[in-house]
Amino acid sequence: MIGLALKNIKGNPVRSLIIFLCILGVAGLFVSITLIVRGADNSLHAGLDRLGADIVVVPEGAESKVETALLMGKPTDIWMSADYAQKIAAVPGIDSVSPQIYLQSLYGASCCAVSEMFLLVFDPATDFTITPWLQRNLGRGLAKGEVIGGRYIFVPPGEKDIRLYGYHLTLRGNLEPTGTGLDQTMFFTLETALDMANSSLTTAESPLVIPPNKISALMVKVTPEADAHAVSLQILRDVLGVFPIESPNLFGAFRHQMLGLLWVFLIVLILVWVLSTLLIGLIFSIVVNERQQEIAVLRALGATRWFVFRSVLFEAVLLAFAAAGIGVSLAAFTIYILRDSITNSLEMPFLFPSFSSIMTLLVVVIALSLITVTVAVFLPAFRISKKEPAVAMRE
Amino acid sequence: MIISLCNVTKEYSLDEETVITPIQNVSLDVKQGEFILIVGRSGSGKTTLLNLVAGLIKPTSGEVLIDNHNLRNMTDTQLSSLRNRRIGFIFQFPSLLPSLTVLQNVILPTTFSSRRRKPNAHKRAADLLQMLGLGERKRAYPRQLSAGEQKRAVIARSLINEPEVLLADEPTSDLDERTEQETMTMLRETHATGVTIVMVTHSTELIPYATRAFKVEDGALLDITADFFGK
């Protein structure tokens, strides 16, 4: 039966190619959309995990600025009084509070794969974002002049260290990629930041300014028994001038955009899927009509109805299997190659899914393609298998 | 194999009002080893008769029995198995599958039943083609063969499963005189090996090849053996 199906596929290359392209297109589109959506979702989760906070407290009105900075690594300039750390810590249900300062590099830093760089200053005494990673990987904290970088931070070729504002920084390691702005972020301590600011007065084209007693945001962890939402509402009530963003709501605007995009993708995908199924069904109806004398001969030679039904179905299944396999591979390869362009052009974070996710997707898409062709071909295959051979011969 | 047709009638409805009856109240017994030739004009119902014997259509009334088994009571699988294992078919129209080579076409009937698939099918197909003078053309596609060569390939295919009965529908139509004689000689040789042959044709000149002859006229089957053999 395989041989007969292959011969029939080869025997009508144009028809086979149309069906092949239909399935390849649907499979490719499905995989592309899934990879982009999954990539963005993976990225958001990795970013949130990296921050490790239950609540991020930012100056009132600066929510979107902070989200953009963390999500896309766009340098930002936001400040609030450092006294807020104590006020927030006094709210019931809060376990720990750690201040962060957000700075920006000068445009076109040579150290990095990105033109502008986001600088995140943390307090080693209270930090729970970077410190656990440092303990795991270095076994100690960062000394003055030492930094940790995101995925895109590197020491420029031919140099021993990274220079920022004329200040020499030693790169001690790179964090795992998250696909968010944290990949183009450099992390260092307040001690290093203040030293760099002092040094920049004489060594930089324009000095690094860190206003005294100011911070950009507060990372908040709640106690295990506390409800983050209730704590967040309490902060909103008790502490004026700041806005608490619960971790699941962080990047909310982006999630909303993604959801809208997902619906558009989904509608397009369903339309393409339905049209392709109809087209494949139509093509196979024509095929079995053209071949009905041939199929009648098979019946007269001893082929059962079931054999005829299976052989028509098998032809479609073989085409679907090959097309889906190639479609998935092509789409995954294209998305992988274009992952940075996707991040830049769609202005969205993206973390390419793992190999096992791709394999799962391959299995799912092949299964969906097989179901699609089975649905499309079922009726023509059933009709021709039920037809009396003598009638088919005469027609 | 014994074939019996008992008062068989076959009607076709062309539309709600028009019904044609190509076969009407026909009875016929074919014994093992006979060479039955059925003549008649085009559209007289010869092919319908052959299709009834092969179980490719069901009679409107009457019964078709093979070795006393009523075809009407057989399932599709049983009928398919009967056609595959015990009946060889030669069609009037070009019936080789265009996407398969001559050799693959000949082997085709052996692939329908894995239970029956013969390990030596390939060799037997090659031998049959050699015997029928197509040994050198076995890798050719049907479109590359002449009408006579195609007919011989179809005969080879009909014999691949060593059938007990060969049903031949106008096997010599569209053939020149020499190829027609070659084809009939092959059928006669096949008959000599003990295979029962039921053949329909419009040509009364082929009657001498048969052991019994019938004529289909106005839906009835008339025994004309005595007219030609004086029996």
The DSSP bridge pattern shows strands B212-217 and B35-39 to be parallel
Tell me the pLDDT of chain A averaged across its residues. 86
Strands of A190-235 (E only): list them: 214-215, 217-222
A6, A9, A294, A304, best to mutate vs chain B, most B CBs in 10 Å: A304
A301 contacts B112? CB cut-off 8 A: yes
Q: Identify the pLDDT of residue B34.
A: 94
Amino acid occupying residue A235? I
Chain A residues in contact with B116 by the CB 8 A cut-off are: none
Q: Identify the pLDDT of residue A112.
A: 56
Q: Report residue B33 as tokens.
A: 């080893």
Q: How far apart are CA A373 and CA A379, in angstroms?
A: 11
Chain B residues in contact with A299 by the CB 8 A cut-off are: 56, 80
A393 contacts B93? CB cut-off 8 A: yes
Tell me: ipTM over 0.85.
yes
Q: Identify the pLDDT of residue A255.
A: 76
Buried b vs exposed e over A63-89: b needs ≥16 C-beta within 10 Å? bebbbbbbbbbbbbebbbebebbebbe
Among chain B residues, CA nearest to A303: B112
Chain B residues in contact with A306 by the CB 8 A cut-off are: 76-77
Does the structure show a pLDDT above 80 at A135? yes
- Residue A385 CA: distances (Å) to CA of A12, A111, A344, A370, B112: 21, 69, 54, 20, 15
Tell me the pLDDT of chain B averaged across its residues. 88
Give kind and range of the element (H or E) at residue A146. Answer: strand A146-149
User: Residue A235's closest CA among A50, A49, A59, A48?
Assistant: A59
Instruction: State what percent of residues in chain B have pLDDT above 90.
Output: 48
A126: Cβ–Cβ under 8 A, 6 or more apart, which residues? A96, A97, A98, A99
Task: Among B57, B85, B97, select the one facing A390 at the smallest CB separation.
Answer: B57
| Predicted confidence band of residue A262 (pLDDT cuts 50, 70, 90) | confident
Q: How far apart are CA A123 and CA A142, in angstroms?
A: 11
Among chain A residues, CA nearest to B159: A301
Chain A residues in contact with B85 by the CB 8 A cut-off are: 302
Q: Identify the pLDDT of residue B192.
A: 93
The DSSP code sequence of B82-133 is HHHHHEEEE-SS--S-TTS-HHHHHHGGGGS-TTT--TTHHHHHHHHHHHTT
Contact B74/A at CB under 8 A: no
User: Residue A368's closest CA among A322, A318, A335, A324?
Assistant: A324
Q: Identify the pLDDT of residue A113.
A: 54
A12, A297, A384, A385, best to mutate vs chain B, most B CBs in 10 Å: A297
Chain B residues in contact with A388 by the CB 8 A cut-off are: 56-57
A299 contacts B56? CB cut-off 8 A: yes
- The SS3 call for residue A394 is helix
Does the structure show a pLDDT above 90 at B9? yes
B83 contacts A302? CB cut-off 8 A: yes
Q: Identify the pLDDT of residue B118.
A: 62
| Predicted confidence band of residue A115 (pLDDT cuts 50, 70, 90) | low
Identify the residue with better confidence: B128 or B113. B128
Kindly report, residue by residue over B43-92, the tens digit of the pLDDT.
Answer: 888 999 999 999 888 999 999 999 889 999 999 899 999 999 899 999 88
R_g of chain B, CA atoms, integer Å: 18
| Predicted confidence band of residue B113 (pLDDT cuts 50, 70, 90) | low
Does the structure show a pLDDT above 70 at A116? no
SS3 content of chain A, % helix, strand, coil (to 5): 60, 15, 25
Does the structure show a pLDDT above 80 at A349? no
